[in-house]
């Protein structure tokens, strides 16, 4: 799969897309993330991509023309399953959405900035709006990075141990059970004996019970689903 991120601050994401899981996915030929500087699609001699809003509101608004030019150029090269806009009033991002997006093909993510984006972009160019939380950030670069990371890491083959990704929090609308590693005992804090028993069935039951208890205590809203 391929993810194209449109941003006014590509430098902010350069290091992110060339490290860790995303770099591993590209090296394996399973997924790639490409950054596009929106200013490259501006016809303004100062490369501006924003302007004052009609109606006299405060702040600056991303213009439709450079966004349309960039999206049109990308679509001329390949098909895309979704054109996503990162916005605080979009649908809340969760593991299910990440799973669904990872099963598709190519994605475009438009990182919002300034006061917002011309409404015509949302009405005519965007297929999906996603929020990473009920708060406002300076720009949509961090949400775009979050979405890309969450999607790419569960593309089959990206992570060596695929079972690891399948057992992550939220995959079953539950939090994960506690996990432990060596040393077996540290400062009198011991690993639960059940995990050392070798009894796979009992260990699985313990993990389920622990996951259920943690979810009920910390995120009961998940169980309401």
pLDDT tens-digit map of 34-71: 999 999 999 999 999 999 999 888 889 999 999 999 99
Q: What confidence score (pLDDT) does residue 213 get?
A: 96
Whether 169 shows a pLDDT value over 70: the answer reads: no
Q: What confidence score (pLDDT) does residue 49 get?
A: 96
Whether 167 shows a pLDDT value over 70: the answer reads: no
Question: What are 20-37's pLDDT values in tens digits?
Answer: 899 999 999 999 999 999
Place of tokens 């890309």: 148
3-state SS string for the chain: CEEEEEECCCHHHHHHHCCHHHHHHHHCCCCEEEEEEHHHHCCCCCCCCEECCCCCCCCCEECHHHHHHHHHHHHCCCCCCEEEEEEEEEEECCHHHHHHHHCCCCEEEEECECCEECHHHHHHCCCEEEECCCCCCCECHHHHHHHHHHHHCCCCCCCCCHHHHHCCCCCCCCCCCCCCCCCCEECCEECCHHHHCCCHHHHHHHHHHHHHHHHHHHCHHHHCC
Q: What confidence score (pLDDT) does residue 164 get?
A: 56
CB 97 within 8 A of CB 130: yes
Q: What is the mean pLDDT of the chain?
A: 92
Whether 79 shows a pLDDT value over 80: the answer reads: yes
Q: What confidence score (pLDDT) does residue 166 get?
A: 55
Q: What confidence score (pLDDT) does residue 168 get?
A: 62
Cβ-in-10-Å burial (0-12, 13-18, 19+) of 158 comes to buried
Q: What confidence score (pLDDT) does residue 107 get?
A: 98
- pTM higher than 0.75 for the full model? yes
Question: What are 100-146's pLDDT values in tens digits?
Answer: 999 988 999 999 988 889 999 999 999 999 999 999 898 999 999 99
Q: What confidence score (pLDDT) does residue 114 get?
A: 84
Q: What confidence score (pLDDT) does residue 30 get?
A: 94
Cβ-in-10-Å burial (0-12, 13-18, 19+) of 125 comes to buried
Question: What are 83-96's pLDDT values in tens digits?
Answer: 999 998 999 999 99
| Mean pLDDT confidence for 77-82 | 97
| Mean pLDDT confidence for 156-171 | 68
- The two beta strands, 128-131 and 185-186, are unpaired
* CB contact set of 180 (below 8 Å; sequence gap of 6+): 191, 192, 195
CB 182 within 8 A of CB 171: no
What does the alpha-carbon distance between residue 69 and residue 173 come to, in Å, rounded to a whole number?
39
What does the alpha-carbon distance between residue 208 and residue 170 come to, in Å, rounded to a whole number?
13
CB 117 within 8 A of CB 61: yes
């Amino acid at each position: 799969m391929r993810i194209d991120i449109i941003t006014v601050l590509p430098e902010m994401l350069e290091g992110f897309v060339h490290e860790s899981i995303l770099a591993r996915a590209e090296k394996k030929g399973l997924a790639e993330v490409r950054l596009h500087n929106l200013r490259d699609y501006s016809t303004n001699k100062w490369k501006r991509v924003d302007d004052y809003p009609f109606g006299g509101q405060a702040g600056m608004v991303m213009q439709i023309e450079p966004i349309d030019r960039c999206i049109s150029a990308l679509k001329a090269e390949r098909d895309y399953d979704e054109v996503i806009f990162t916005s605080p009033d979009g649908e809340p991002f969760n593991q299910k959405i990440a799973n669904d997006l990872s099963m598709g093909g190519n994605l475009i993510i438009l990182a919002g900035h300034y006061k917002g984006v011309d409404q015509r972009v949302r009405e005519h160019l965007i297929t999906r709006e996603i929020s990473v939380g009920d708060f406002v950030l300076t720009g949509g670069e961090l949400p775009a990075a979050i979405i890309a990371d969450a999607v790419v890491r569960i593309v089959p083959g990206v992570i060596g141990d695929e079972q690891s990704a399948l057992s992550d929090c939220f995959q079953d609308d539950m939090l994960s059970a506690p996990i432990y590693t060596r040393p077996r005992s540290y400062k009198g804090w011991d690993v639960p004996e059940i995990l050392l028993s070798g009894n796979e069935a009992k260990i699985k039951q313990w993990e389920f019970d622990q996951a259920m208890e943690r979810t009920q205590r910390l995120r009961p809203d998940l169980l309401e689903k």
